[in-house]
Amino acid sequence: MNHKHSTLDRAAERLIDIDNVSHGDERERAIYMEASTFGMTLGIWGCFFASLVFAIFGQILLPVVLISVAMIPSYGTLWFANRRGVNTLELLSRGSYRSGLTSAVSFAVVLLLTLAAIIYSAYFGRGLLQFEVTFEVVGDGLAEVAVQGALIGAGVGAVLGVVWVALIIRGHKKKRYKEPAPGDDT
């Protein structure tokens, strides 16, 4: 796309890496963008429902954090589109009133339920439902060792994840270059 890019725009585009050749041709890129939107929407709904569940069990800070995190993709979308002259709210107004309203009302209902659960917890000092897990630490320094083990495990898992993705990409590259191009399909 041709735009007059500011440093901020360039940074945003570098972040999403939209023009990277690895994102494929125009159809693949369009599908990739749709898939990203799908994933983002799932993430937003996941955050909202998780915040509701945690609020019901008496958590206060975690639901607020989750809702705040869920807002980031929406505000990011508004900002990015607005920088390129696309008003997403105006776009929504072009669609059917019913579908836009259904989505907005659904989010509002979950948000209000979460807020109600938080207020209940703050007022009564306990959640609507009780669920407590207690760990009994046996032996000196066992908790410290457990934390260290978890951190090491997470680190090794992260490295293995990167290696796994790298191997998959390498496999696809090899397949593309080594295999003869598939012939006509029909």
Partner 1 sequence: MGNRDSAHDNPVRHRRKELRITQAELAKTVGVSRQTIVAVEQGDYAPSVFLALGLGRALGATVEELFGDAEVKEPEDRGIGA
Residues that bind partner 1 (CB under 8 A): 24-28, 30-31, 34, 181-185
**Nearest-approach distance from CB 4 to partner 1, in angstroms:** 21
Q: What is the dihedral of CA 38, 39, 41, 43, to 10 degrees?
A: 170
Q: Choose between 69 and 92: whose C-beta lies nearer to partner 1.
A: 92
User: Closest CB to partner 1 among 19 and 28?
Assistant: 28
Nearer of residues 29 and 62 to partner 1, judged by Cβ: 29
DSSP state string for 103-141: HHHHHHHHHHHHHHHHHHHHHHSS-SS---------STT
Sort residue 133 into left (φ over 0), alpha (ψ -120 to 50) or beta. beta
> How many Å apart are CA 103 and CA 88, to the nearest integer?
15
Nearer to partner 1, 24 or 161 (CB): 24
Instruction: Give the separation between CA 70 and CA 179, rounded to whole angstroms.
Output: 43
Separation CA 39–CA 110 (nearest Å): 19
Q: How far is the CB of 76 from partner 1 (least distance, A)?
A: 21
Q: How far is the CB of 165 from partner 1 (least distance, A)?
A: 20
Q: How far is the CB of 181 from partner 1 (least distance, A)?
A: 4
Q: Output the smallest distance, CB 90 to partner 1, in A.
A: 17
Nearer Cβ to partner 1 (130/186): 186
